[in-house]
Amino acid sequence: MKNVKVLGSGCKRCEATADLVRAEAKKLGVEIDLEKITDYAAIAGYGIASTPGIVIDGKVVHAGGLPRAEDVAKWLAA
């Protein structure tokens, strides 16, 4: 199971990112534990200045803007 964190304020882009991660994980058959982080201090702790951000298994893989579905699939498959 992969631990996935979506970092952001809870805005529409952040919600869309979380939905995209869920959808790609389902397509791939990858089990995920998805957590939304909205605390700005916690987000800054990952070194992310623009959201949404994605952290998979402790590694920052994306920051700022909506990620592409194929990129999310690649990160989850790794």
By the 10 Å C-beta count (0-12 exposed, 13-18 middle, 19+ buried), 32 is classed as middle
pTM of the model: 0.94
pLDDT in the model for residue 10: 87
H helices present in the chain, as ranges = 12-28, 40-45, 69-77
pLDDT in the model for residue 58: 96
pLDDT in the model for residue 12: 94
User: Domain 2-77 in CATH: superfamily?
Assistant: Glutaredoxin (3.40.30.10)
* Calpha distance 9→78 (Å, rounded): 27
pLDDT truncated to tens, each residue of the chain (78 aa)?
A: 999 999 999 899 999 999 999 999 999 999 999 999 999 999 999 999 899 999 999 999 999 999 999 999 999 999
* Calpha distance 50→29 (Å, rounded): 29
